[in-house]
Amino acid sequence: MKSISIDIETYSSINLGKSGVYRYAENDDFEILLFAYSVDGGEVKVVDLANGEKIPRGITDALKDDEIIKWAFNAMFERVCLSKFLGLETGKYLNPSSWRCSMVWSAYMGLPLSLESVGAVLGLEKQKLTEGKDLIRYFCIPCNPTKTNGGRARNFPKHDSDRWQRFKEYNARDVETEMLIQEKLFKFPVPDFIWKEYEMDQIINDRGIAIDMDFVKQAVYIDGISSEKLMAVMQDITKLENPNSVQQMKGWLLENGIETESLGKKAVAKLLESAKEPYKTVLELRQKLAKSSIKKYAAMENAVCGDGRARGMFQFYGANRTGRFSGRLIQLQNLPQNHMKDLGEARSLVRSKNTEALELLYEDVPDTLSQLIRTSFIPKKDKKFIVADFSAIEARVIAWLANEKWRIDVFADGGDIYCASASQMFNIPVEKNGINGHLRQKGKIAELALGYGGSIGALKSMGALDMGLKEEELQPLVYAWRQSNPNITKLWWDVDRAAKNCVKEKIPTETHGIKFIYQSGMLFIVLPSGRKLAYVKPRMGENKFGGEAVTYEGVGGTKKWERIESYGPKFVENIVQGISRDILCHAMKSLKDYYIVAHVHDEIIIEANMDASLSQVCEEMAKTPSWAKGLLLGADGFECLFYQKD
C-alpha cells in the first residue's frame, strides 16, 4: 500500500461553518457516518459506520503510518476528524507530513477551491453529485423537531433508507472525483517544497492560538449594555421602533429633509459634514452602533476549542492567483487596528466588567471594544508573544525586480520610502516631521496606489481625496511617480510583452528573471523561488480600450468562474505578491524551531519563552533566500503579553 484516497461524511451539532473543523470534531456528539476510500487507485469502498460497520484494521493502521500518503479534497477536514475518531486528545492530530490535499493541487493550478467547481471546469467524466447538499442537510446536521418527524432532532439512516443509499453513493463519488482530478493534473505535479510548506501550515493550524475567554465574555457583555444604551437614546430622539434598521432610518431622515442612498460608513461621514442637531447626534450614534465588535468576539466564542485555543484560521493557497494565505473563522487578516496608548488599562476595565469607568474614560465604548479585539489573543502562561514583520516587503521586491536603483539605495540606508518617493517626485528634500514633511503623505498615497499601474482611480480608492489631496493634483501625481520610477514602469510593459508573446507564439519567454511558459493550455509564470503561478486557458483578447490583452479563466470579482482580462501591471502585482508570499514561507521555515502560532499578511506571531530574543527573530526573518540574491529585506518587531498592533 502506497496511498489511500479518502472522503468522510460526519455528524456534529456544532455549526461547521462558524466554528471550523477543530471545534466541530471535538464536540461530544461528533461521529463519522461514512468512510469512503480507495487503496492505490483501486475500487472505491464505503464503510457504513453509522450502521455498525468497521474500518478494516489495515486501513486504520495506514492512517497512522507516515510512510503511506493520504489524499483528500480539503484534507484538513479528514485529518482532524479522523484524529478524533482514532482517539487523539484535543491539541493532538495525525501528522500532516503524509497528507496531501487535492484542493491545494487545484489551487496551485489556478482552479476553484470547491470539488464541484473543479469537476465542472476540468469536465470530469464523474463529477460530484449535485444532490449532496440536501443529503448533508438531512443526515449531517440537527433537524427541527416537528409533528411529522415525531419530534426528533436528528435524522438517522433508518428514517430514510433510500436517501441513505444515495448518500453512500455520494460519498463514493467524491473519492472517484478526487482521483479523477489527480489523473487530470498528473502532468503538473505540485513540487515537494510546496507540500513541505503545506505541512508547516497544517502544524500552525493544529497549534492554534490562545484566546483570553474571560476577557471575550466580558467584552460581549459590555457590548450588549453599550448597544442597548445607544439604541435607547436613538429611539428617544427618532421615535422609531428600530433605529438600527436601514429602511426605517432612511425613511426618518427623508421625512426630515435628508436624502441618502446609503447608510454605509462613508455615506454617514459625508452626511455628518453638514448635518445639524438632532440629526448629527443620531448619525454619530448610528456610527458607534455600526462599530459594534460583537461579531468578532462571537466568532472567537464559536471557534475556541476546549483547551482555550482557536485553530484552523489559515487557508493554505487561499488566494490561488498568488498562492498567498487567506483567513478563516475569526479572520486575523482584517482585525481593526488599535491606536490607544493604554490598551492594558482598557483591557483590565473590560475584564472586571467596569462599564461605568469605561464610559467615563473612553467616550466611544464600541470603538474601544473594537480596538481591543486583537488583545483577545494571548500567549500561554509564562510565555510572551514576539510579533515581527517585514518592512515594506512589496516595495522592496518590486524595486529589486525592476532594479530601481534609487529605491534600493533608500532601503540599503534604512530610509523612509514615503519621504524618499516624495523627494524624488518633487525634487526637494522631504523628511518625516521635518523639512517639507507635509509632502510625505503624497509620497505615501502614491506608493500605495501607483506601484501596479494604478492611476487617478487607484488614488481615489486609496482615499487620496479624503486625505486632503485635490482632484487637480491627482494626474500630476501619477505622472510624477511614473517619471521618478522609470525602471518599474518599464518592468510593467516588459512583463506585458513577455506574457503576450508567450501566449501568442506558445513559446517560453523571459524578462527580469521571470519565466513565462505555455504548456497544455496553461500559462505558467515561474517565480525566482521555482514556484509557478498558473493561468487557465490563456488566449489573446481585447481589453476595454480596444487594445489586445491576455485573458484567462479564473474566479473573478463576481466570485464565479469567468474569463478575466489581464495586462503587464496586473501580472507584476501577482508576481510581486507571489514573491512576497514565498519570502514569508522562507522566513517561517527559517524560524521552524520557534513556536509560530499565527501569521497575518507579512507578520509572524510567535509564542516564545521569556528569554527568547526579538532581535534574533528579526535577524533570521531578514535573511535573503538563496534564490533572491541582491534583495534587501528588513524586519522589525516587538514583544507583548497580548496581541496588538505596534
Q: Which residues contact 240 (CB under 8 A, 6 or more apart)?
A: 234, 248, 249, 252
14 and 114 belong to one structural domain:
yes
- C-alpha cell of 564? 478575466
Return the SS3 of 381: coil
DSSP string over 121-160? HHT-SS---TTHHHHHHHHTS-----TTTTT-SS--GGG-
For 518-564, write each residue's pLDDT tens digit. 999 999 999 999 999 999 999 999 887 788 999 999 988 888 899 99
Q: Which of 155, 115, 149 is nearest to 132 (CA)?
A: 115
Mean pLDDT along residues 204-220: 96
101 and 152 belong to one structural domain:
yes
Q: Which of 598, 641, 211 is nearest to 388 (CA)?
A: 598
**Residue of 626 and 148 predicted with greater confidence:** 626
Mean pLDDT along residues 55-74: 97
Q: What local confidence, expressed as pLDDT, does residue 488 receive?
A: 96
* Count of beta carbons in the 10 Å neighbourhood of residue 441: 15
CB 61 within 8 A of CB 31: no
Local structure of residue 211 (DSSP, 8 states):
B
For all residues of the chain together, what is the average pLDDT?
92
For 169-203, write each residue's pLDDT tens digit. 999 999 999 999 999 999 999 999 999 999 999 99
363 and 428 belong to one structural domain:
no
Mean pLDDT along residues 55-62: 97
In the predicted model, is pLDDT for residue 89 greater than 70? yes
The domain boundary residue, chosen from 420, 453, 484: 484
Q: Read off the pLDDT band of 376 (50, 70, 90).
A: very high
State the total domains in the chain. Answer: 3
Q: What local confidence, expressed as pLDDT, does residue 293 receive?
A: 60
In a domain, 278, yes or no: yes
In a domain, 526, yes or no: no
Q: What is the identity of the amino acid at 134?
A: D
H helix intervals, 26-98: 57-64, 75-85
Q: Which element (helix H / strand E) includes 100?
A: strand 99-101
Domain that holds residue 417: 405-484
In the predicted model, is pLDDT for residue 363 greater than 70? yes
Q: What local confidence, expressed as pLDDT, does residue 260 receive?
A: 86
The domain boundary residue, chosen from 484, 506, 534: 484
351 and 431 belong to one structural domain:
no
CB 553 within 8 A of CB 564: yes
73 and 170 belong to one structural domain:
yes
Q: What is the C-alpha separation between 565 and 553, in angstroms, rounded?
A: 9
In a domain, 615, yes or no: no
Query: Grid cell 460497520 — which residue?
Result: 53
Q: What is the C-alpha separation between 115 and 375, in angstroms, rounded?
A: 37
Q: What local confidence, expressed as pLDDT, does residue 265 receive?
A: 80
In a domain, 609, yes or no: no
CB 157 within 8 A of CB 164: yes
182 and 210 belong to one structural domain:
no
Query: % helix / strand / coil in the chain, to the nearest 5?
Result: 50, 15, 35
Q: At what angle do helices 471-484 and 486-505 cross, to 10 degrees?
A: 80
* Count of beta carbons in the 10 Å neighbourhood of residue 359: 17
228 and 360 belong to one structural domain:
yes
CB 46 within 8 A of CB 189: no
In a domain, 319, yes or no: no
For 307-330, write each residue's pLDDT tens digit. 999 999 999 999 878 999 999 999
The domain boundary residue, chosen from 463, 484, 505: 484
Burial of 2 (0-12, 13-18, 19+ CB in 10 A): exposed
In the predicted model, is pLDDT for residue 292 greater than 70? no
Q: Read off the pLDDT band of 262 (50, 70, 90).
A: confident
Return the SS3 of 613: coil
Q: What is the identity of the amino acid at 463?
A: G
Q: Read off the pLDDT band of 440 (50, 70, 90).
A: confident
Exposure on the CB side of residue 2, measured as CA atoms within 13 A: 3
